């Protein structure tokens, strides 16, 4: 069985600072073309958190399990053993990291029912961010799409590139 993280069964065992986080999208496995989403606490080396169901169970029982956590070495092991790769990472600051911490501790203490689309890894990450006062939410429950730049972000990038090119062509200092 591939490593998917550890269950955190006591508070205060690890230091979690959720003031700076990363939303991390990784590739899927098997028929999952959408990938998987994790939340990473970026400070002090940080930890990764995600929901997978119960990796040791079989059949429908696999759909209910405790959220998992892992440190950076565990994350690299997770990628290697599951055959996944990191697709992208988005950085965010949370205005209420204590709220996010209390919420994620509550989530880690309870079993999560994995329901593929309505209650999946994306909703797990969205709920933690919302509890921390963040405004990021996904327009898709497919992690590969959820973390991709939106059309408006792509347009802004294009206009910035175009403006920079024009300034450079005409030698206008910025």
pLDDT tens, residue by residue, 2-43? 999 999 988 778 899 999 999 999 998 777 778 899 999 998
Residues 107 and 39: their CA atoms lie apart, in Å, by 13
13 located within any domain: no
113 in any annotated domain: yes
Sheet holding 68-70, edge to edge: 68-70, 48-50, 36-41, 20-26, 86-93
**pLDDT band at 50, cuts 50/70/90?**
very high
Q: Which domain does 58 fall in, by range?
A: 20-170
Domain count, the chain: 1
Distance of CA 89 to CAs 85, 110, 135, 162, Å? 12, 27, 16, 25
Per the model's pLDDT, the better-predicted residue between 152 and 119 turns out to be 119
The predicted pLDDT at position 76 comes to 97
Q: pLDDT tens digit string along 71-88?
A: 999 999 999 999 999 999
Helix (H) or strand (E) holding 15: none
Residue 7 lies in a domain: no
Q: Quote the pLDDT of residue 33.
A: 79
Confidence of residue 59 (pLDDT cuts 50, 70, 90): confident
**Is there a domain that residue 12 lies in?**
no
The answer to whether position 118 is within a domain reads yes
Whether 147 contacts 86, CB under 8 Å:
no
Cα(95)–Cα(112) distance, integer angstroms: 26
Map tokens 């730049």 to a residue. 149
Residue 67 counted as domain residue: yes
Is residue 8 in a domain? no
137-147 tens-digit pLDDT = 887 777 777 76
What's the pLDDT tens digit per position in 92-136? 999 999 999 999 999 999 999 887 677 889 999 999 999 999 988
């Amino acid at each position: 069985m591939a490593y998917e993280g550890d269950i955190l069964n006591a508070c205060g065992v690890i230091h979690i600072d959720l003031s700076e986080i990363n939303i991390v999208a990784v590739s899927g496995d098997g028929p999952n073309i959408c990938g998987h989403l994790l939340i990473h606490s970026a400070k002090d080396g940080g930890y990764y958190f995600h929901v997978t169901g119960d990796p040791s169970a079989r059949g429908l029982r696999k759909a209910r399990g405790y959220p998992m956590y892992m440190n950076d070495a565990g994350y690299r092991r997770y990628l290697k053993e599951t055959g996944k790769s990191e697709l992208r990472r988005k950085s965010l600051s949370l205005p209420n990291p204590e709220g996010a911490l209390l919420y994620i501790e509550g989530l880690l203490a309870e079993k999560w029912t994995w329901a593929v689309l309505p209650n999946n890894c994306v909703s797990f990450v969205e709920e933690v961010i919302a509890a921390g006062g963040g405004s990021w939410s996904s327009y898709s429950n497919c992690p590969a799409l959820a973390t991709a730049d939106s059309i408006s972000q792509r347009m802004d990038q294009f206009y910035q590139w175009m403006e920079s090119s024009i300034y450079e062509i005409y030698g206008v200092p910025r």
